[in-house]
Structure 1
Amino acid sequence: MTGIHPAFHPLFDGSGIDGGLYTDITRDAQRAPWLLNDTVATWSAFGLALFAALMLTGWWRARRSDSPMMARALATPLVVAVVYGVDVVLKSLVREERPCRSLPGSFTLEACPAPHDWSFPSNHAVIAFAAATALWLVDRRLGAVAVTAAVAMAASRVWVGVHYPHDVAAGALMGIALAVPLTVGATRATPWVERAREGRLRPFLLTAA
């Protein structure tokens, strides 16, 4: 006798929430110029690398800031990692099937993720908005760039056909809601940063200018 573990079965079908909107958006994508679709698909697949670059830039710029801001800058990757971990747990609990599997005939620019790669909330949106929120609390200019990029990332995940709109909206809200207290709380590491700025790590934490 064979069977499938209950954890491998979807629990939630999100098509009743905004499946119609998802279909409208992906239909527009199907009719869009190839150059637009190639650009969006490339951004959707590789755009998270920009957030890594922005976090690195945030650390570099924080060398000219006070110790609390440096503490936040250093904590930004950890904040994103923690938020992503919470997202993974939530995904495994909700177990929402991908729209490209739930809705017959769905058009996708990106291959539909494998079964049991759940849809809610969007990993990309969670990571992008957590990074953008943390960066906003470190450096407003970098934060503005990151927020714009996060919105573009969330929209791209629906456009390529792998998420419902509510998946990316929930991911955005989750990223913001968790990143704010975590980033603000990182200022508790200020004493450590101040001590490190007086030691061998000084060149990495404080600019001479």
Structure 2
Amino acid sequence: MTTHNLALDGSGIDGSLYIDVTDFARDTPWLTEPMSLYTSIGIVVFGVLIIAAWWKARHENSATMAAVLVAPLSAITAYLVNDAVKWVVEEPRPCNSYPTAFILEKCPPLEDYSFPSNHTVVAAAVAAALFLVSWRWGAVTSLAAVLMAFSRVYVGAHYPHDVIAGLVVGIIVGLVTAVLLGKHATTFVEKLSDGPLRPLFAAAVTPEQSQDSQDRRSASKR
């Protein structure tokens, strides 16, 4: 018979708040399906936001394109760091401490630890990285990340402190990764923009746009 070392008992931190949120989920049946869907496949939303930012960045400079391209790397790095934290802390899922709570997801095995939330970390890392693209992209993605964090508690998968920690870890690791890789990524984009892969990094310039650019240069010399 094996024993499980409870390195962190999250129920003593904000277990009552967790119950309040899951009770809220039980009392809002009209919201359970949308929240369950978002918490399950919502990460796809962040992939779509990165693709949309990439498409828009094709009309911007190399630094902007580079900031978009490092966003997935920021998410991957944050996930790996977070997974390491999980195995150090070894906090059991709240469904193990509150087996009668209203939960919308099947309770994971004991080895699937709770602190911090992987979903939230990835979402927050993408949001932090996209803030380096523009505040608009960062703001939109941040709203999606906060919703992801709430959904993880709503469906009963995590304690509130799990998702708060996930936001913090995701923001810090995502931002640091994006900043550290940004300069190298810019050089990478500039090199590839001069080759056959240019359409991936820069939109084609129409004759009208080219003429407009020449007119602006001519006007500036007068």
Q: Does the pair score TM above 0.5?
A: yes
Counterpart contact for 2:74–2:175, Cα < 8 Å: no
TM-align CA RMSD: 1.4
For 1:70 and 1:201, the matched residues in 2 are separated by 13
Cα shift readout 1:9-45 (whole Å, capped 9, x = no counterpart): 442111100001111111121121x221111111111
2:47 is aligned with 1:47: no
- Give 1 or 2 for the bigger CA radius of gyration: 2
2:149 is aligned with 1:154: yes
Instruction: Identify the residue that residue 202 of structure 1 maps to in structure 2.
Output: 198
For 2:75 and 2:41, the matched residues in 1 are separated by 17
For 2:126 and 2:6, the matched residues in 1 are separated by 29
Structure 1 residue 162, shift from structure 2 partner: 0.9
For 2:171 and 2:116, the matched residues in 1 are separated by 13
Instruction: Give the gaps of 5 or more residues in structure 1.
Output: none
Range moving further from structure 2, 166-175 or 38-47: 38-47
After TM superposition, the score normalised by the length of structure 2 is 0.87
Instruction: Give the gaps of 5 or more residues in structure 2.
Output: 206-222
Instruction: Identify the residue that residue 209 of structure 2 maps to in structure 1.
Output: none
For 2:74, the aligned partner's letter is V
Instruction: Identify the residue that residue 192 of structure 1 maps to in structure 2.
Output: 188
Structure 1 residue 172, shift from structure 2 partner: 0.2
Give the alignment of 1:2-41 within 5 angstroms: 3-4=1-2, 9-32=5-28, 34-41=29-36
Cα shift readout 1:62-109 (whole Å, capped 9, x = no counterpart): 111111111111111111101100011110110000011112412101
For 1:170, the aligned partner's letter is A
Helix, strand or coil at the partner of 1:97? coil
Instruction: Identify the residue that residue 105 of structure 1 maps to in structure 2.
Output: 100
For 1:133 and 1:200, the matched residues in 2 are separated by 31
Range moving further from structure 2, 190-199 or 86-95: 190-199
For 1:35 and 1:24, the matched residues in 2 are separated by 17
2:111 is aligned with 1:88: no
2:157 is aligned with 1:141: no
After TM superposition, the score normalised by the length of structure 1 is 0.93
Structure 1 residue 130, shift from structure 2 partner: 0.5
Instruction: Identify the residue that residue 56 of structure 2 maps to in structure 1.
Output: 61
For 1:19, the aligned partner's letter is G
2:109 is aligned with 1:114: yes
Runs ≥4 in structure 1, deviation > 3 angstroms?
none
2:169 is aligned with 1:169: no
For 1:42, the aligned partner's letter is L
Structure 1 residue 154, shift from structure 2 partner: 0.2
For 2:86 and 2:128, the matched residues in 1 are separated by 21
For 1:49 and 1:187, the matched residues in 2 are separated by 24
Task: State, as a whole percentage, how many aligned pairs show the same letter.
Answer: 44
